Chains A and B, each alone.
Chain A
Amino acid sequence: MSTLLSDTPGNEELQDQPQGAPCDLPPEAHSDLEFSRRTFVKAAGILSAGVASGLPRVAAAEKARIAATTAPQTVSLTLKINGKQQALTVDTRTTLLDALREYLGLTGTKKGCDHGQCGACTVLIDGHRVNSCLTLAAVAQGAEITTIEGLAHGDELHPVQAAFLEHDGFQCGYCTPGQICSAVALLEECRRGDLSTVSWQTGQTTSPQLSEQEIRERMSGNICRCAAYPNIVAAVRAAAQGARS
């Protein structure tokens, strides 16, 4: 499996997992399995190429789509992360998420789905929460980027971090940096009176209060596989009450 993944950056965590742990096959059976899978993939490729050549119009269109290729390009950037300017040269394809994790050693921000669906990669750009997996590093140049590493003041935790600890707002912890960054922005959005779809439904369209329903809606861009949602809601609510008092 690792050979299939090896040319993809950012898969260390996957590769570190013991291979084939879930089943009890002897080592040689593993390599056989891997070999046959690779052979299958190859065979399937040849098969689909054959099918495609039987449909010349399809093949031509597919060729035209893929023909327009550019050689890999690099871009030199300066990113301001947690108040510190950092210079780096990256492939233009590099997302902010990969720049943080693979180039700058800021591995607190997590890669979950890598498609803007799970929220594990949430960071703040100029105070706004965004999915760093769908943000190109090049686009983020010139902005103030805040990651989970930038929330605490020395040993003093950010109130939202403290609330997540206090209310046990996690189980495995993988989504937690994204949850916390998201919640930090949520409190600011609430402070300035931003609405959610729940605010419209409940008619609370001037300074909506953070009910459980509001918190759940406003945090819906952060998925927790362990389903620690009740405690996440409690943590966000506690942090909101702390922010008010």
Chain B
Amino acid sequence: MNPFHYQRAAAPEEAIHAVAATRGAKFLGGGTNLIDLMKYDVERPTTLVDINHLSFTQITASPDGTTTIGAGVRNSDLANHQIIRTSYPLLSQAILSGASAQLRNMATTGGNLMQRTRCFYFNDTAYTECNKRNPGSGCAALKGFNRIHAILGASAGASSETASCIATNPSDMSVALAALNATIHVQGLKGKRAIHIGDFHLLPGSTPHIETALKPDELITSVELPPSKFARNSYYLKVRDRQSYAFALVSVAAGLELDGKTIKSAGLALGGVAAKPWRSADAEKALVGAPATADTFRQAAELAVAGAKTYQYNAFKVELAKTSIVRALTVAAQGVLA
């Protein structure tokens, strides 16, 4: 691990100024991903600004039904909060399906949004080819063991291997936030702004090293959830190689607002298939106004994976994603498990 300065911030402004003023400085939240990557020499910050002692650790509900989650709320506290369990069970299920109890106790809401990919080649500096780590160096995953890699939204055109990236975003929490239409509130030197979850994570394009819309001096302060619509009919399905403590091969966050048997509105997002939680406007459009039946769900599933591109070892993900979508929507339509 490279040496670094350590600084504990007492207020968000102090943390933002410290990171903005120092080249190579980073915010340190739970550290479950950053410290790990520093041990692998993938991350080499010059300064760590500790934001664990800031006061944004509250979850509050507004009279209009909006819920605000402080960026410093730990994953375990978020998943177990009464408001989240009752009004946004999808989010509780997604968080509890990820990592271990120890890691969930450490990881923060803001940090989870900033998680970096678990691509084997990104995480191992022995591979010099990684456009995310060394822009312009190529992509070792393209011809490597790419079983866990993206099938949607990747940049892997034949002519642009120097910009290719087929890494996936590993977060479960973010997939649920996408289905729930969350808004990310951030603060920087120039003030505050709000970013819709759909615009927060970026597809790789020709700049796979730029992963989010967050500017270098910006700090996530809270996540806002609109009034709950899917409390009764939602389900997070995670498919993985081990039953516990493993990243998703494919995951589905499904939320339905039902009027009798008719779907009034829907939130559908996929994990493990792209560099961001994958939402398909076409798939959601196919659900809205349609009866909550297997036929409707199958149609939505086809639309959700439209344009999928596979590599040597991950072609199975297309069929897996489709069957997972149908299953998640079926369970969601049946109503809450509790």
Contacts and interface: CB of A to CB of B under 8 A. Distances in A.
A221 B103 contact: yes
23 contacts: A55-B137, A58-B128, A61-B134, A61-B136, A65-B133, A69-B3, A69-B44, A71-B3, A73-B6, A92-B3, A93-B1, A116-B103, A131-B102, A135-B31, A136-B6, A194-B76, A200-B337, A200-B338, A201-B337, A205-B85, A220-B100, A220-B101, A221-B245
Interface in A52-101: 52, 55, 57-58, 61-62, 65-66, 68-73, 75, 91-93, 95
Contacts of A1: none
Interface in B133-148: 133-137
Contact of A66 (B6, B44, B89, B245): B44
Interface in B66-119: 74, 76, 79-80, 85, 89, 92-93, 96-97, 99-103, 105-106
B90 to A, nearest CB: 10
Nearest to A203: B337
A195 interface: yes
Which 7 residue pairs across A and B have the least CB separation, nearest first? A221-B100, A220-B244, A205-B338, A68-B24, A92-B6, A72-B3, A203-B337
**Max chain A Cβ within 10 angstroms of own Cβ: one of B31, B32, B102, B245:** B102
A39 interface: no
Interface of A: 48, 51-52, 55, 57-58, 61-62, 65-66, 68-73, 75, 91-93, 95, 114-116, 119, 122, 128-131, 134-136, 138-139, 142, 182, 185-186, 189, 193-197, 199-206, 216-218, 220-222
A244 to B, nearest CB: 20
A116 B102 contact: yes
Given A61-B137, A93-B1, A139-B52, 14 more contacts: A58-B128, A61-B134, A61-B135, A62-B134, A65-B134, A68-B24, A70-B46, A73-B6, A115-B39, A135-B106, A182-B101, A185-B101, A200-B89, A217-B244
Contacts of A51: 128
A186 B104 CA distance: 13
B337 A218 contact: no
Nearest to B101: A221
Contact of B93 (A138, A142, A189, A197): A197
Nearest to B5: A73
Contacts, number: 148
A220 B245 contact: yes
Max chain A CB contacts within 10 Å: which of B1, B47, B74, B128? B128
Nearest to A192: B80
B151 interface: no
Contacts of B245: 220-221
Contacts of A58: 128, 134, 136-137
Interface of B: 1-6, 8, 23-24, 28, 31-32, 35-36, 39, 44, 46-48, 50, 52-53, 74, 76, 79-80, 85, 89, 92-93, 96-97, 99-103, 105-106, 128, 133-137, 243-245, 337-338
A70 B50 contact: no
A130 B105 contact: yes
Contacts of B39: 114-115
Nearest to B23: A68
Contact of A195 (B4, B28, B85): B85
A68 to B, nearest CB: 4
A203 B8 contact: no
B102 A92 contact: no
Contact of A138 (B6, B76, B92, B338): B6
A200 B6 contact: no
Contacts of A93: 1, 3-4
Nearest to B34: A134
Contacts of A222: 100
Contacts of A199: 96
Contacts of B74: 128
Contact of A95 (B24, B35, B97, B105): B35
B102 A130 contact: yes
A114 B97 CA distance: 23
A64 B270 CA distance: 35
